């Protein structure tokens, strides 16, 4: 089937370079849509040497003709969103409401949610290592049918009533369980109402553009920009060390209301090695000087929290699983430049696992009933590369071999290759993957 739009997701535990790839592909797109997560995401772009980290605004915003959309599956901190809009405006970008559409039905992260997130991480029994932005508690209220939506910020009476509806329980938790100060409904309502006034021109019920106006939908190229990564999906990820939204491509269906999943190319962004921020098992994690070298060379610090990212080799069982649950068609691989001059490199081809009856198993693909803490990764060693390209501008043979091995292990093409932080540091290896999407 000819692919008319594209869903781009992280294929690992986030921070694969989705922002950079989204920015690059968006020059071909009419719309760029965020559909889940919130400002826990940090998507880094370097355009003409200038660094921008986007948390809520879609990474296609820098292209004049691309409309940026924030769908109703995204949880919104109004203060953060406004700050991001103001900063982009100050940098000279067109941030007029025709350029950015925000769903009036997007759930709002309030101080209640943010403080509960922080309190649970500090004092709760199980530490997930969240970003502390209030993401989990906000999605909890969506499921509990108590969510405050952006459109509610426009009516102080509705807003106050909805805040009261969550205040009793949440203030009891904050005070009695976590020993924190309560949140004042009146002050919270006042602050949120003020942000509602600032943001109101951006609220647009764009659903009609995608559902009713089918001709337009059919002729538009849409890039759905995932946040986090498949292994952090609430349902399919390495639970409980996950985020609270659906990061698999299917999430685009719920978070943006799309009705053309089948006709979307599903592109997984993949780092040439693996990183993880926060808690949770990580079979190929490196605890030696190689891990430190990759962390330092790759500048592996969280774009949202500044935390050091844990680093390890590429993990085929996890990636095969990501392909399976994410219906991935192809990959974009980033950061191969970081792996230059490391000496020999490794990939984990499978796991060994000893079950409770003491029998040994070879595991080629992760499944989410498997206890990742108990697996033993088995590695294949491959020759490392000294540079990404040789003097003729061709991929060095060792890097080419690495890509060939990964492609044959995963049975998916690597279509794009990230070779540096800049927008231009990208090689198109297999343009045919994109068909008419890149024309
Ligand atoms: P995202 O959350 O998936 O958008 O990724 P982040 O922005 O959190 O982290 C990716 C980091 O790697 C950022 O600092 C990017 O500037 C950087 N990056 C992306 N692609 C490449 C690449 O191909 N090479 C190098 N060296 N850095 C890259
Ligand atoms: P981008 O879009 C990497 C991780 C947190 C924590 C877990 C739950 O930049 O790839 P949360 O605050 O979401 O409740 O935290 O998920 N996490 C990310 N890790 N990249 C991200 O986003 C992440 N967003 C959340 O570190 O382990
Ligand atoms: Mg990130």
- Shared domain for 141 and 82, answered yes or no, is no
Spatial separation of the C-alpha atoms in residues 281 and 356, rounded to whole Å: 19
- Shared domain for 308 and 340, answered yes or no, is yes
pLDDT of residue 105: 97
pLDDT of residue 211: 66
Give the rounded percent of residues in the chain with a pLDDT score beyond 90: 90
The stretches in the chain having pLDDT less than 50 are none
Can 401 be counted among the known catalytic residues? no
Number of domains in the chain: 3
- Shared domain for 221 and 301, answered yes or no, is no
pLDDT of residue 126: 83
Identify the three-state secondary structure at position 70.
strand
- Shared domain for 240 and 259, answered yes or no, is yes
Can 43 be counted among the known catalytic residues? yes
- Shared domain for 314 and 256, answered yes or no, is no
| CATH assignment at residue 316 | 3.90.170.10
| CATH assignment at residue 248 | 3.40.440.10
147-186 per-position pLDDT tens digit: 999 999 999 999 999 999 999 999 999 999 999 999 999 9
- Shared domain for 386 and 290, answered yes or no, is yes
44-73 per-position pLDDT tens digit: 999 999 999 999 999 999 999 999 999 999
Pocket of ligand 1 (CB under 6 A): 10, 14-20, 42-44, 46, 303, 334-335, 337-338, 418-421, 425
Please give the mean pLDDT across all residues of the chain.
95
325-379 per-position pLDDT tens digit: 999 999 999 999 999 999 999 999 999 998 888 889 999 999 989 999 999 999 9
Q: 57, 122, 278: which to mutate for ligand 2, most atoms within 8 A of CB?
A: 278
- Shared domain for 261 and 327, answered yes or no, is no
Give CA separation, 266 vs 160, 226, 384, 401, in Å. Answer: 41, 11, 29, 25
Q: Could you tell me whether strands 31-34 and 345-354 are parallel, antiparallel, or unpaired per DSSP bridges?
A: unpaired
CB 71 within 8 A of CB 81: no
For residue 249, with 0-12 CB atoms within 10 Å meaning exposed, 13-18 middle and 19 or more buried, which class applies?
buried
Q: 421, 424, 425: which to mutate for ligand 1, most atoms within 8 A of CB?
A: 421
Say if pTM beats, i.e. exceeds, 0.85: yes
- Shared domain for 257 and 276, answered yes or no, is no
Which of 184, 199, 214 is the endpoint of a domain? Answer: 199
| Cis-peptide, bond into residue 240, ω within 30° of zero | yes
pLDDT of residue 217: 67
Q: Which residues 6+ apart lie within 8 Å of 402 measured at CB?
A: 272, 336, 345, 347, 382, 385
Spatial separation of the C-alpha atoms in residues 24 and 14, rounded to whole Å: 18
Which of 170, 199, 228 is the endpoint of a domain? Answer: 199
State in Å: Cα 227 to ligand 3 middle.
8
The domain containing residue 49 runs over which residues?
5-103+203-267
pLDDT of residue 209: 73
DSSP 175: I
Catalytic residue among 23, 28, 39, 43: 43
CB 10 within 8 A of CB 18: yes
Spatial separation of the C-alpha atoms in residues 151 and 134, rounded to whole Å: 19
Spatial separation of the C-alpha atoms in residues 375 and 261, rounded to whole Å: 34
State in Å: Cα 409 to ligand 2 middle.
27
- Shared domain for 171 and 289, answered yes or no, is no
């Amino acid at each position: 089937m000819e692919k008319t739009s594209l869903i781009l997701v992280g294929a690992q535990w986030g921070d694969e370079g989705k922002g950079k790839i989204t920015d690059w592909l968006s020059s071909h797109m009419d719309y760029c849509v965020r559909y889940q997560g919130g400002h826990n995401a940090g998507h880094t772009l370097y355009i003409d040497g200038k660094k921008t980290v986007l948390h809520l605004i879609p990474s296609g915003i820098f292209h004049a003709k691309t409309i940026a959309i924030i769908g109703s599956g995204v949880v919104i901190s109004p203060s953060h969103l406004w700050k991001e809009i103001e900063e982009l405006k100050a940098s000279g970008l067109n941030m007029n409401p025709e350029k950015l559409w925000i769903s009036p039905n997007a759930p709002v992260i309030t101080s209640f949610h943010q403080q509960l997130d922080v309190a649970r991480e500090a004092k709760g029994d199980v530490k997930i290592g969240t970003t502390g932005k209030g993401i989990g508690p906000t999605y909890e209220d969506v499921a509990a049918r108590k969510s405050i939506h952006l459109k509610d910020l426009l009516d102080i009476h509705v807003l106050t009533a909805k805040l009261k509806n969550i205040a009793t329980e949440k203030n009891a938790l904050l005070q009695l369980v976590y020993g924190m100060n309560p949140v004042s409904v009146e002050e919270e309502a006042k602050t949120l109402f003020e942000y509602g006034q600032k943001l109101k021109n951006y609220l647009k019920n764009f659903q009609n553009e995608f559902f009713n106006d089918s001709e337009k939908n059919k002729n538009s190229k849409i890039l759905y920009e995932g946040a986090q990564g498949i292994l952090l999906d609430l349902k399919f990820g390495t639970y409980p060390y996950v985020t609270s939204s659906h990061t698999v491509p299917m999430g685009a269906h719920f978070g943006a209301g799309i009705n053309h999943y089948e006709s979307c190319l599903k592109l997984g962004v993949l780092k040439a090695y693996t990183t993880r921020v926060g808690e949770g098992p990580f079979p190929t994690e490196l605890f030696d000087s190689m891990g430190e070298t990759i962390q330092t060379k790759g500048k592996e610090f969280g774009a949202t929290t500044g935390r050091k990212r844990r680093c390890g080799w590429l993990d085929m069982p996890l990636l095969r699983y990501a392909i399976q649950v994410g219906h991935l068609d192809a990959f974009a691989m980033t950061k191969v430049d970081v792996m230059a001059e490391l000496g020999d490199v490794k990939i984990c081809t499978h796991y060994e696992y000893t079950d409770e009856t003491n029998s040994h198993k070879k595991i080629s693909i992760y499944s989410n009933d498997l206890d990742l803490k108990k697996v033993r990764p088995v590695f294949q060693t491959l020759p490392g590369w000294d540079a990404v390209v040789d003097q003729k501008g061709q991929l060095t043979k060792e890097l080419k071999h690495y890509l060939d091995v990964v492609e044959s292990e995963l049975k998916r093409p690597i279509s794009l290759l990230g070779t540096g932080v800049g927008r231009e540091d990208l090689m198109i290896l297999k343009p045919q993957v994109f068909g008419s999407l890149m024309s």
